[in-house]
Amino acid sequence: MQTIVEIAKKVSPAVITIVISKDLPQVEGFYYLPYGDKNFLVPQLKKGKSEKTRVGGGSGFIVSSDGYVLTSQHVVSDPEADYVVIIDPTRKFPAKVLARDPINDIAILKIEGENLSFIELGDSDQIEPGESVIAVGNPLGEFHDTISAGIVSGLSRFITAYSGLSQETAHLKGLIQTDAAINPGNSGGPLVNMEGKVIGINAAMAENAQNLGFAIPINYAKKDLEEVKQYGKLKRPFLGVKYLILNQEIARQNKLPLGYGALIIRERFGEEAIIKDSPAEKAGLKEFDILLEVNGEKITEKNPLANILQKFGTNDEIEIKTLRAGKELILKIRLEEKK
């Protein structure tokens, strides 16, 4: 077992800063806009002119000498942004986002480099509560290679996380809880064990609490990384429905018979709840059906449909228990690859 100093020296060269930039309109000045009894300062934009502007950042870490990088999906969620990886003040690389996994909040990037420092991946299935861990990252986007030590406080945690950067809400499960300090800007950095191997990706911290951070188990990312290296993308099973996950309160408000499951319903007026030519349409699913179980596994808020489907392959046949007009049906559906 290595000391914290030894581990810090080993892993820090592979921990990187991700800078997020977008082309935004140039500001040529400001003016006051009176409203009621107050004046509001409003930017005056140059018509037709834009400039590259930094809009955010996060952490990540290199996992191969040829430049594969792991980070959190919410750090690089904007497909219209440009991403630059900073290894140190003298080395910066444009980064290509190869894959985004919003279910597990994981993203895989690639930079064009050779003989890069990288961190070895550990086995998150072997973690035990109470073991020592180290979180590395760039909190607030300013304090590079910050090291914080702690222990594994708990396993298999479920949280609802909100990203102020991407304005996204995600339901994350199976998380590692740690008291090692995780702050804004740490997202995407590694959680390392005392062998210097990554066991998690720092993901979130609890507001209004101290020493309460969460990381995504690295074994979730291993599968994604293998798929990207083999196929150049993530191969995800596709069902083809828009839905709302039910709970007791939603069921009560809408006078529904059950407080769990996935209600097939369109998200907005003018769109379809069942995607045309999808496995769901071919199997005969209809809007307002309530999907209850997949292969006997119950659909709930803590175990939503998307999480269950990711366990299957892109050509697997599944059985879905469905409630339609008060009657239960069992439908067999063959999943397809998401385009």
pLDDT value at residue 158: 74
Which CATH code for domain 237-337? Answer: 2.30.42.10
Give the span between the Cα atoms of 176 and 105, in whole angstroms. 14
Q: Which residues contact 270 (CB under 8 A, 6 or more apart)?
A: none
Q: Give catalytic residue positions.
A: 74, 105, 187
Where are the chain's structural domains?
124-231, 237-337
What gap in Å lies between CA 15 and CA 88, rounded to an integer?
Answer: 9
C-alpha span between 217 and 128 (Å, rounded)? 12
In the numeric block, the tokens 């998401």 are attached to 338
CA distance 298 to 245: 12
pLDDT of residue 51: 63
List, for residues 67-89, the tens digit of each pLDDT value.
Answer: 999 999 988 888 888 898 988 88
Residue 199's pLDDT is 94
Asked if 202 contacts 113 with a C-beta cutoff of 8 angstroms, the reply is: no
CATH number at 124-231: 2.40.10.10
Structure confidence at residue 81 (pLDDT)? 87
Per-residue pLDDT at 334: 95
The HSE-up count of residue 84 (CA atoms within 13 Å, CB side) is 15
Q: Is the dihedral of CA 69, 75, 79, 83 positive or negative?
A: negative
Classify 151 in phi/psi space as left (phi over 0), alpha (psi -120 to 50) or beta.
Answer: beta
DSSP character at residue 141? G
| pLDDT given for residue 209 in this prediction | 54
Residue 133 neighbours by CB under 8 Å, 6+ apart:
149, 150, 151, 152, 178, 180, 191, 192, 193, 194, 199, 200
Q: Within the chain, how many helices (H) and strands (E) appear? A: 5, 20
Global confidence as pTM: 0.76
Closest CA to 198 of 134, 116, 113: 134
For 112, half-sphere exposure in the C-beta direction (CA atoms, 13 angstrom radius) is 2
Surface-to-core class of residue 184, CB atoms within 10 Å of its CB (0-12 exposed, 13-18 middle, 19+ buried): middle
39: phi then psi, degrees, rounded to nearest 5? -115, 130
| Residues 129-154: tens digit of each pLDDT | 999 998 888 765 566 777 888 899 88
Question: Of 220, 224, 222, 135, which is closest to residue 177 (Cα–Cα)?
Answer: 135
pLDDT the model gives residue 157: 80
Contact 245, 339 (CB under 8 A): no
**Segments of the chain scoring below 70 in pLDDT:** 1, 23-33, 35-36, 40-55, 139-143, 160-171, 184-185, 204-211, 270
120: number of Cβ within 10 Å: 13
